[in-house]
Amino acid sequence: NAGVTQTPKFRVLKTGQSMTLLCAQDMNHEYMYWYRQDPGMGLRLIHYSVGEGTTAKGEVPDGYNVSRLKKQNFLLGLESAAPSQTSVYFCASSYSIRYNEQFFGPGTRLTVL
Amino acid sequence: KQEVTQIPAALSVPEGENLVLNCSFTDSAIYNLQWFRQDPGKGLTSLLLIQSSQREQTSGRLNASLDKSSGRSTLYIAASQPGDSATYLCAVIRPGANNLFFGTGTRLTVIP
C-alpha cells in the first residue's frame, strides 16, 4: 500500500515552459487535492476534485489546470511557468472532507528560473 | 475567512521534557481539526484528527485537545525524544469549504 505518490520529486523549469505533475493514490479515496507550500504562507489549496471526472478551483488556482480522468490519479498542469510558481507542491487525498483525515504525498519541489 | 495561528514559531526543549504546542483559529464553526508532522524536505504525516464533536484524541505519546468555543487546540507530547524534532502543523476544515486551512507551524527541536 503506497498511499499517495507524486512524480517527479524535483524539477527545474525556465519561464514559459510547461509541465505536468502526477499524483496517484491507492486508497480508493474520492477526494483529491493539490496544495502549494511557500515560506511564511503555509499550505494553500490550488485545485481539488470530489470524484472521478470532477475538478474545482481552490484558493490560488490561477496559472494551473487539473484533470482527474481516473479515480486514482490527479494531474496538475502548468501551461506557462512563471517564477512566482516556484514552490513545493503537495498532493493529498481523503475519503471525505468532513469526517476523514487527509493523507499527503512526499511533495514536488519546483523551481522556475 | 478562517485564520489559523501557531505560536511559537519555534521551540527547543531538552530530551525527556513534556511539551505543549498551540493552535488557534478564528472561526469556531469547524468540521474537524488535524495535526500533522513535517520533517525537513518531506511531506506531511497525519498525527491526529479531532472531529468537532470531540474534546480530545490520543495516539501513543501524543494527545490533542480541542476547545471549539475558544478557538483553540493543543498538542501535548509526553517524554519528548530527539526523533520528535520536526515542524508541527495544525489545520481545520470549516463548513462550506473544501480544503484544510493551515497554520504556519511550530518548528520543534528536541535536544539530546
- Residue B17, strand partner residues: none
pLDDT tens digits, B91-110: 999 887 777 899 999 999 99
Beta-carbon separation of B43 and A40 below 8 A: no
pLDDT tens digits, B11-39: 999 999 999 999 999 988 888 999 999 99
Whether residue A16 contacts residue A113, with contact meaning beta carbons closer than 8 Å, is answered with: no
Closest Cβ opposite residue A98 in set B31, B46, B99: B31
Beta-carbon separation of B104 and A40 below 8 A: yes
Q: How confident is the model at residue B89 (pLDDT cuts 50, 70, 90)?
A: very high
A11/chain B closest Cα distance in angstroms: 14
Between B41 and A32, the higher pLDDT residue = A32
> What is the Cα–Cα distance from B40 to B64, expressed in whole angstroms?
23
Residue A95: closest CA among B105, B18, B66, B46: B46
Q: Where are the alpha helices (DSSP H) in A46-91?
A: none
pLDDT tens digits, A73-89: 999 999 999 999 999 99
Query: Is B104 touching A (CB cutoff 8 A)?
Result: yes
The two beta strands, A10-13 and A108-112, are parallel
Q: How confident is the model at residue A112 (pLDDT cuts 50, 70, 90)?
A: very high
**DSSP character for B79?**
S
HSE of A94, CA atoms in CB hemisphere, 13 A: 20
Q: Write out the three cell numbers for B106.
A: 511550530
| A19, containing H or E segment | strand A19-25
> What is the Cα–Cα distance from A84 to A81, expressed in whole angstroms?
8
Q: Which residue of A has its CA nearest to B4?
A: A42
Q: How confident is the model at residue A100 (pLDDT cuts 50, 70, 90)?
A: confident
Residue B74: closest CA among B7, B1, B9: B7
Whether residue A66 contacts residue A35, with contact meaning beta carbons closer than 8 Å, is answered with: no
Closest Cβ opposite residue B93 in set A42, A44, A98: A98
pLDDT, mean of residues B66-90:
97
Q: A101 contacts in B (CB within 8 Å)?
A: 34, 46, 49
* Predicted local distance difference test score (pLDDT) of residue B34: 95
